[in-house]
Amino acid sequence: MRADLVLKQTGIIKRRVIAKALLERGRVSINDKVAKPSSEVKSDDVLTLSLGDRIIKAKITFEVRGRRELAVAELLSIDK
């Protein structure tokens, strides 16, 4: 699933447009590699977001509900 969609679907970022902007500015990494909005996120990947003075780390897993695959985030840490 695309990185911008994962950020929106998990609720880490409220709007996909904002998620896309953060990814384009290099503020998000997947497994310690800078990600693009179209970067593929797989199950058990760790996303790291740099938001000003905060750093958020979340482990991503996927659940299948009916025919849809939904991204779920488990927050690992929030550093200030």
Provide the domain limits for residue 46: 3-79
Distance between terminal CA atoms of the chain?
A: 29
Position 62 scores a pLDDT of 92
Q: What tens digit of pLDDT does each residue of 6-52 get?
A: 999 999 999 999 999 999 999 999 999 999 999 999 999 999 999 98
Task: Tell me: pLDDT of 76 over 90.
Answer: no
The confidence score (pLDDT) of residue 54 equals 92
Whether the per-residue pLDDT at 70 is higher than 90: the answer is no
Total structural domains in the chain? 1
- The pTM of this model reads 0.87
> Rounded distance, CA 77 to CA 79, Å?
6
Coil, strand or helix: which one is 4?
Answer: helix
- The tokens describing 43, both together, are 């199950």
pLDDT value at 69 more than 90: no
Assign residue 50 the CATH number of its domain: 3.10.290.10
Is residue 28 within 8 Å of residue 47, measured between CB atoms?
yes
Q: What are phi and psi of 26, to 5 degrees?
A: 80, 25
